[in-house]
Chain A
């Protein structure tokens, strides 16, 4: 695994990108790594483009903002446009295969560009509400930045109270996580 990982996840407010970023950074902290998570959003609570920056490293982390990410994930057309500037020659750019009309806006200089069918899998195979956990899986699958076990523990910490009420939710979330890892690894 790389010494440090810089991750940017962008989507529409309400898509759950901030929760994903928080859970990944919690998992990394619990694994004994240095982690820094910072959300970035507009004045509106919902509806704007929301960007989450996560840095994970073996060493203390400096500046909260970075210029280019190791992995940049965009989950809406506006997010694709907005995140272009965080892409460089080392960046793995991941976007959802369902986003239409963005061919022109895809970054030209990325190391690799992957279109993953996260929205489709969430809708047809699992449940729309675990869309963001599929994304979480994709980030973990692409970076190996935290172990699957720690990711599950972090999910438990965040959603455990819901899992208690409905144990099927736990299963659904774990499946979403694993499916996300699989989606990205198939393409890498």
Chain B
């Protein structure tokens, strides 16, 4: 077996796509199934360049439907498999992700959001929030991490494999085109050297022993004949999801303690929000920032506590209200006024948020 891809830790300056490939290697991913789409392409390119050096594998499929299902298949066979896609590719992969949701298959999917709908732009947006959180025919029993920096892209890609395998729900890293293509510095590391235990993969099919005698049979179904049968299964999954959600939920707060206005933003837009809070505080405006790191499950209780105490909420996103829907759903019944700065498909700058908050104040 080849040496570990990363020894100890190392400071690097690279693109987000490169970061994901290194993180997947470090997390012990054994195979990537993929189909090219911008801005995700280089995840595949870097992976195909790096993987053979460390005994890992790659399969390019004929499309994203196939990439999604081969990932599911790889996981069933006990491989730490993952895939990555964007935009229309994410749309096609929802079919396989619904299956993963139904069969509790720990798939890992990295989404690098581009503009939408359809082909739209190849660059950037935050317009894949709804699809990633709730895509497919089902209840959206997934885990979605929205990353804001290259460091987080690395940290959460590693974490996603553990989360997926621990809880057995499809797990997503929701990045974006900016993160894919931009270069910035970060520290990459060997997770085990940092004390992060990597949860091993386990095969769903082809296990040793005789089913029903030596072990429980693998009862893998995504088809049900009767509505009451399905009801019971889905209810079971929902209950399991709700049970583990509090352990999974992550969020970050910036200057929210005495805040009168809270800016809610996720992913890369959170960086502009953080910058804006600094400027606004210098002007004496009591603004704070709440950032959901997990969009699914959403930090409902944590945001409710804050929202109840402030005078106003401002939702900022590079989409036309996709984050807003998650927020209003979470805050149902709370009467704090909600304002928005919605820029579908366009980046958000510090200056724009500052200007908007000044007007609200």
Interface residues of A, Cβ cutoff 8 Å to B? 22, 25-26, 29, 34-43, 61-68
Q: Is the CB of A29 within 8 A of B121?
A: no
Q: Is the CB of B122 within 8 A of A67?
A: no
Q: Is the CB of A35 within 8 A of B349?
A: no
Q: Is the CB of B183 within 8 A of A25?
A: yes
Known contacts A36-B183, A38-B178; decide if A62 and B272 are in contact (CB<8 Å).
yes
Q: Is the CB of A67 within 8 A of B352?
A: yes
Contacts A62-B272, A63-B272, A67-B351 known; list 15 others, CB within 8 Å: A29-B13, A34-B185, A35-B184, A36-B182, A37-B183, A37-B184, A38-B178, A38-B183, A42-B121, A62-B350, A63-B349, A63-B350, A65-B178, A65-B349, A66-B350
- B268 cross-chain contacts in A, Cβ below 8 A: 63-64
- B181 cross-chain contacts in A, Cβ below 8 A: 38-39
Q: With A and B bound together, what is the CA distance between A162 and B212 in angstroms?
A: 65
Known contacts A62-B272, A62-B275; decide if A29 and B185 are in contact (CB<8 Å).
yes
Q: Is the CB of B185 within 8 A of A35?
A: yes
Distance (Å) between the CB of B271 and the closest chain A CB?
Answer: 4
> What 6 A-B pairs are tightest by C-beta distance, nearest first?
A65-B347, A63-B272, A38-B182, A62-B275, A29-B13, A67-B351
- A22 cross-chain contacts in B, Cβ below 8 A: 183
A sample of 16 cross-chain residue pairs with beta-carbon separation below 8 angstroms, ordered by A number, consists of A25-B183, A29-B185, A34-B184, A35-B13, A35-B185, A36-B182, A36-B183, A39-B181, A40-B123, A63-B350, A64-B178, A64-B271, A64-B347, A65-B348, A67-B349, A67-B350
Against A, the Cβ 8 Å flags (1 = close, 0 = not) of B100-119 are 00000000000000000001
Quick check: is B294 within 8 A (CB to CB) of the other chain?
A: no
- B182 cross-chain contacts in A, Cβ below 8 A: 36-39, 64
Quick check: is B274 within 8 A (CB to CB) of the other chain?
A: yes
Q: Is the CB of A63 within 8 A of B271?
A: yes
Among residues of A, the one whose C-beta sits closest to the C-beta of B352 is A67
Distance (Å) between the CB of A58 and the closest chain B CB?
Answer: 13
Name the interface residues of B310-361: CB closer than 8 Å to any CB of A: 347-352
Distance (Å) between the CB of A68 and the closest chain B CB?
Answer: 8
Distance (Å) between the CB of B134 and the closest chain A CB?
Answer: 27
Q: Is the CB of B183 within 8 A of A43?
A: no
Count of B interface residues, CB-CB < 8 Å: 23
Q: Is the CB of A62 within 8 A of B271?
A: yes
Known contacts A22-B183, A26-B13; decide if A41 and B275 are in contact (CB<8 Å).
no
Q: With A and B bound together, what is the CA distance between A83 and B323 in angstroms?
A: 30
Q: Is the CB of B275 within 8 A of A35?
A: no
Q: With A and B bound together, what is the CA distance between A26 and B275 in angstroms?
A: 24
- B178 cross-chain contacts in A, Cβ below 8 A: 38, 64-65
Q: With A and B bound together, what is the CA distance between A43 and B119 in angstroms?
A: 9
Distance (Å) between the CB of A3 and the closest chain B CB?
Answer: 14
Q: With A and B bound together, what is the CA distance between A159 and B285 in angstroms?
A: 49
- A36 cross-chain contacts in B, Cβ below 8 A: 182-184
Among residues of B, the one whose C-beta sits closest to the C-beta of A18 is B181
- A26 cross-chain contacts in B, Cβ below 8 A: 13, 183
Q: With A and B bound together, what is the CA distance between A26 and B12 in angstroms?
A: 10
Distance (Å) between the CB of B35 and the closest chain A CB?
Answer: 17
- A25 cross-chain contacts in B, Cβ below 8 A: 13, 183
Distance (Å) between the CB of A47 and the closest chain B CB?
Answer: 14
Distance (Å) between the CB of A170 and the closest chain B CB?
Answer: 23
Among residues of A, the one whose C-beta sits closest to the C-beta of B11 is A29
Q: Is the CB of A61 within 8 A of B184?
A: yes
Q: Is the CB of B185 within 8 A of A43?
A: no
Against A, the Cβ 8 Å flags (1 = close, 0 = not) of B268-291 are 110110110000000000000000
Distance (Å) between the CB of A1 and the closest chain B CB?
Answer: 19
Q: With A and B bound together, what is the CA distance between A61 and B183 in angstroms?
A: 11
- Which of A34, A35, A65, A66: most chain B CB closer than 10 A? A65
- B269 cross-chain contacts in A, Cβ below 8 A: 63
Distance (Å) between the CB of A4 and the closest chain B CB?
Answer: 11
- A43 cross-chain contacts in B, Cβ below 8 A: 119, 121-122
Known contacts A64-B271, A65-B349, A67-B351; decide if A35 and B183 are in contact (CB<8 Å).
yes
Q: With A and B bound together, what is the CA distance between A38 and B15 in angstroms?
A: 9
Among residues of A, the one whose C-beta sits closest to the C-beta of B16 is A38
Among residues of A, the one whose C-beta sits closest to the C-beta of B351 is A67
- A67 cross-chain contacts in B, Cβ below 8 A: 349-352
Q: With A and B bound together, what is the CA distance between A36 and B275 in angstroms?
A: 15
Among residues of A, the one whose C-beta sits closest to the C-beta of B176 is A64
Q: With A and B bound together, what is the CA distance between A26 and B183 in angstroms?
A: 9
Q: Is the CB of A42 within 8 A of B183?
A: no
Q: With A and B bound together, what is the CA distance between A22 and B123 in angstroms?
A: 17
Q: Is the CB of B349 within 8 A of A41?
A: no
